[in-house]
Amino acid sequence: MNPSFNERAENAIPVNIRMISGCRDDQTSADVSNIAEFELPNPAGLAAGAGTSAFLNVVYADDKKPDDDLSFQDVLMKIRGILSEGGYAQIPQLSSSRPLDVETKFDLSPENFTGTKRAVLIGINYVGSRYDELSGCHNDALHANEYIKNVHGFDDDNITVLMDDGKHTNPTRENIMAAYSKITTESKPGDVVYLHYAGHGSNVKDKNGDESDGKDEVLCPVDFRKAGFIVDDDLLKFLVAKFKRDVFVTSIMDCCNSGTILDLPYNFKADGNQTAMVPEEDYNFDNIISTVVTMSGYDPTFTGVNIPLPTFADGDTLLKKQSPFFDQECWRKYIHYSVATNKLRRQPICVALNIDQKLLKPGTDRDKDWTCDNEIGDQFQLDNDYYKKNDWDRGHMARFATSAWGETEKDAKDAGDATMFYSNSCLQHKNLNRDEWLGIEDWVINLTESTNYKVSSFSGPIYNDIEGVPARTVTPWGRIPAEVPAAFYKIVAFVDKSGKISTRAFIVLQDSSIIADAKGRKKLKNFQTFQVTTAMVEKKTGLIFHESLKTSNPMKTDFAPVGSGDDIVNGDVSPPKGDYSQVIIAAALINPVGKDYTSEWVSIANYSPQQVNLDGWTLSNKGRTPYNLSGFLGCGDTLRLNPRKRGRDGGTVILNNIKGSMSLKDPHGNVIDVAHWDRPGEGEVTIFDP
């Protein structure tokens, strides 16, 4: 064997694990109605699996003859002989994480055993199922339990049994994965582990290209028709790869299509043709290491200060699971980010993401297609049916390019690919997703104010009734309707140059003006049009953010520009009315030649497709009574005024020759536009970016 192959195998999979499966990947495994012929303790009249029964027949017989040690090859060939004599075509298979001499003595414990013996035994009969019910899998688990206790000295306190018999833990997908997580966590170097599964197995289309036959092998939990399968990639990621080095594991898989279900790199088939275990020479170690990347989720201390995950004013719609893949029961962990899911709307409530700007890898290619996350459950996600043949994009809440960071190109690719789950997407109009929202995402990537280049963000949809945004649903043929969000929010937090946390918050509506075209981004200045307080996001979403995200947001009940060091006021600022987003402060003569009082002017332009009534609109800057506007401004027209001259209510705007800003508001107090200037030349007209 190639030594480099062995070294790579040990580096990729630290644990020493051997698996005996009841059949090859392309075979089924039989359920037997009466196992008397297998000569097990008290078998008369009992049903059981042929694979489990043959295995126990062989190892019980071996125990009775301590001087006649059986090797792994002996065990498999004897199992094959028993099955063949009984008329069963299935061929048992041995696979391992280490190169194993098949003439090695078979045992569940190594000679230098010093630790604790632990086991997880699973038997699923699918009781009451019209199509899936089996009869012998409960007995398989019970027989295995007796064997490991009576022959190998396992203790009841360290044996977990899952059966759908109403007495033991129900073998749901969630409970099986929790049991596997528990045993990998508790097992320490020197411990012995025995795993036994009896139930349905199957195969599905391979989605990541690591299977030579194009199929992933899967286990079928009792609730697989609702919760989904347990795919071999998940068994590798969350079972095999989680065990510590020097734990000694034996696994028995008595189910259909189980030959390589743990995706181990060495194999031996008891077909009479193989005499030694062989490595899978085309085994993709790069892919396997990618598969076992830890989904650590959002890190609250990532920026250097503690920014906890938000909590929920109303948790009734939250998807909650007691699972190692979830934080606080409701935050599904991925690479660099975590997702809280609205189980009724089947879209995220909030996506929390860590971004390391220094480790971003621009141009990272995407290999993974969009897919449902089995841990969330298909029933709690909107799949591609909801996004095809319409104008609604799969709006990333944790963007691929923003998440694609890491020490290596491969780390970045793994992280980017981990965003390709429907649990991370919302119904977002293509003209928003590819325009204004993309602009805000780019603004986050290119943010220059973080002192350590580390940024945390919170993104998600808003469903509240919002003036000007109609209620919309998407209903694919034969599917239940899905609600389209009325708006989206994003909160961005980082440590600024002063060493303090700084926060920006945005709300973008899915209204008629935003989705009308994909040209809105060109008309925006640093996206201040969409900037709001953290308190406003809370009000619109029902989320409760950490106090630091409120006191560090430089938005005031009036307005403060991005990056401003003005006093912080924790008031509400309404999101702008999208219908007016193309009414702007176009230009100004700030430093005229001669007297400022008589010569200053400001130009307001209407680039929207409709006439605008300016009654109740104001132009204002800090500390002064706003200047009231009035009359109509036609489509494509401009209004030139001298705000230095007091209006009817005494309002005025002073255009400071050195540096300043002014804001334009509609009658509801919504900030429609803001203009900034810095040392304009004398007599020069300042043109503000549209």
CATH number at residue 133: 3.40.50
Candidate ranges 28-42, 285-299, 620-634; pick with highest mean pLDDT: 620-634
pLDDT tens digits, one per residue of 110-164: 887 889 999 999 999 999 988 888 888 999 999 999 999 999 999 999 999 999 9
User: Looking at residue 380, what is its pLDDT?
Assistant: 93
At residue 178, does pLDDT exceed 70?
A: yes
- Classify burial at 75, counting beta carbons within 10 Å of its beta carbon; exposed 0-12, middle 13-18, buried 19 or more: buried
At residue 26, does pLDDT exceed 80?
A: no
The confidence band for 288, taking pLDDT boundaries of 50, 70 and 90, is low
Q: What is the mean pLDDT of residues 434-447?
A: 91
* Rounded Cα–Cα distance for residues 470 and 512 (Å): 9
At residue 572, does pLDDT exceed 50?
A: no
Neighbours of 134 (CB within 10 A): 21
Q: What is the mean pLDDT of residues 551-575?
A: 44
Amino acid at 411: D
- Are residue 565 and residue 460 in the same domain, yes or no? yes
Q: Residue 568: which CATH number?
A: 3.40.570.10
Q: Is the dihedral of CA 128, 130, 135, 141 positive or negative?
A: negative
For the chain, the average pLDDT equals 84
Top pLDDT among 343 and 69 is at: 343
Structure token digits, residue 135: 């009869």
Which of residues 289, 322, 341 is at a domain's end?
289
The answer as to whether 3 is a domain residue is no
User: Looking at residue 66, what is its pLDDT?
Assistant: 66
- Are residue 357 and residue 478 in the same domain, yes or no? yes
Question: Between the CA of residue 589 and those of 361, 584, 633, 683, what are the distances in Å?
Answer: 44, 16, 20, 7
User: Looking at residue 528, what is its pLDDT?
Assistant: 62
At residue 546, does pLDDT exceed 50?
A: yes
Which of residues 576, 602, 632 is at a domain's end?
576
At residue 213, does pLDDT exceed 90?
A: no
- Are residue 438 and residue 342 in the same domain, yes or no? yes
Expressed as residue numbers, the domain containing 550 is 311-576
- Are residue 592 and residue 564 in the same domain, yes or no? no
The answer as to whether 10 is a domain residue is no
Question: Between the CA of residue 527 and those of 95, 131, 508, 567, what are the distances in Å?
Answer: 57, 56, 10, 21
- In 3D, which of 106, 157, 164, 175 has the Cα closest to residue 140? 164
- Are residue 539 and residue 627 in the same domain, yes or no? no
Question: Between the CA of residue 442 and those of 81, 92, 150, 359, 363, what are the distances in Å?
Answer: 65, 54, 64, 16, 14
- Are residue 90 and residue 38 in the same domain, yes or no? yes
At residue 567, does pLDDT exceed 50?
A: no
pTM over 0.85: no
At residue 651, does pLDDT exceed 90?
A: no
Neighbours of 357 (CB within 10 A): 18
- In 3D, which of 589, 583, 586 has the Cα closest to residue 643? 589
Q: What is the DSSP letter of 440?
A: H
- In 3D, which of 194, 328, 203, 312 has the Cα closest to residue 252? 194
User: Looking at residue 437, what is its pLDDT?
Assistant: 93
User: Looking at residue 250, what is its pLDDT?
Assistant: 94
- Are residue 369 and residue 506 in the same domain, yes or no? yes
* Rounded Cα–Cα distance for residues 264 and 277 (Å): 12
The answer as to whether 299 is a domain residue is no
Query: Angle formed by the axes of helices 50-64 and 137-150, to 10°?
Result: 20
* Rounded Cα–Cα distance for residues 282 and 7 (Å): 15
The answer as to whether 295 is a domain residue is no
- In 3D, which of 687, 678, 673 has the Cα closest to residue 525? 673
- Are residue 109 and residue 140 in the same domain, yes or no? yes
User: Looking at residue 523, what is its pLDDT?
Assistant: 56
**In degrees rounded to 5, what are phi and psi of residue 397?**
-90, -40
- Are residue 74 and residue 96 in the same domain, yes or no? yes
* Rounded Cα–Cα distance for residues 361 and 495 (Å): 22
Q: What is the mean pLDDT of residues 599-612?
A: 88
Q: What is the mean pLDDT of residues 555-578?
A: 38
- Are residue 571 and residue 597 in the same domain, yes or no? no
The answer as to whether 14 is a domain residue is no
The confidence band for 198, taking pLDDT boundaries of 50, 70 and 90, is very high
Which of residues 576, 607, 624 is at a domain's end?
576
Neighbouring-strand partners of residue 553? none
User: Looking at residue 571, what is its pLDDT?
Assistant: 38
At residue 3, does pLDDT exceed 80?
A: no
User: Looking at residue 350, what is its pLDDT?
Assistant: 98
Which residues, 6 or more positions from 498, have their beta carbon under 8 angstroms from its beta carbon? none
The answer as to whether 1 is a domain residue is no
User: Looking at residue 570, what is its pLDDT?
Assistant: 35
Q: Residue 600: which CATH number?
A: 2.60.40.1260
Neighbouring-strand partners of residue 346? none
pLDDT tens digits, one per residue of 76-87: 888 888 888 878
The confidence band for 421, taking pLDDT boundaries of 50, 70 and 90, is very high
Candidate ranges 238-242, 368-372, 402-406, 532-536; pick with highest mean pLDDT: 402-406
Which residues, 6 or more positions from 486, have their beta carbon under 8 angstroms from its beta carbon? 461, 462, 463, 464, 465, 466, 469, 471, 509, 510
User: Looking at residue 285, what is its pLDDT?
Assistant: 67
- In 3D, which of 415, 437, 439, 417 has the Cα closest to residue 354? 415
Q: What is the mean pLDDT of residues 70-80?
A: 88
- Are residue 173 and residue 49 in the same domain, yes or no? yes
User: Looking at residue 581, what is its pLDDT?
Assistant: 67
Q: What is the mean pLDDT of residues 521-544?
A: 78
Query: Angle formed by the axes of helices 72-85 and 50-64, to 10°?
Result: 130
* Rounded Cα–Cα distance for residues 221 and 163 (Å): 10
The confidence band for 237, taking pLDDT boundaries of 50, 70 and 90, is confident
User: Looking at residue 35, what is its pLDDT?
Assistant: 46
Candidate ranges 37-46, 584-593, 657-666; pick with highest mean pLDDT: 584-593
Total count of residues recorded for the chain:
690
Q: What is the mean pLDDT of residues 429-441?
A: 92
The confidence band for 603, taking pLDDT boundaries of 50, 70 and 90, is very high
The rounded percent of the chain whose pLDDT value lies above 70 is 86
The answer as to whether 11 is a domain residue is no
User: Looking at residue 569, what is its pLDDT?
Assistant: 33
The rounded percent of the chain whose pLDDT value lies above 90 is 41
At residue 18, does pLDDT exceed 90?
A: yes
Candidate ranges 313-322, 382-391, 568-577, 646-655; pick with highest mean pLDDT: 382-391
The least confident of 59-73, 405-419, 486-500, 599-613 is 59-73
Top pLDDT among 386 and 10 is at: 386
* Rounded Cα–Cα distance for residues 371 and 393 (Å): 15
Catalytic site includes residue 330 = no
* Rounded Cα–Cα distance for residues 602 and 655 (Å): 9
Q: Which of 220, 256, 330, 350 is catalytic?
A: 256
Helices (H) and strands (E) in the chain, counts: 16, 37
- Are residue 597 and residue 531 in the same domain, yes or no? no
User: Looking at residue 214, what is its pLDDT?
Assistant: 74
Structure token digits, residue 248: 């000694």
How many structural domains comprise the chain? 3
Candidate ranges 342-356, 509-523, 639-653; pick with highest mean pLDDT: 342-356
Q: Which of 143, 196, 200, 336 is catalytic?
A: 200
The answer as to whether 571 is a domain residue is yes
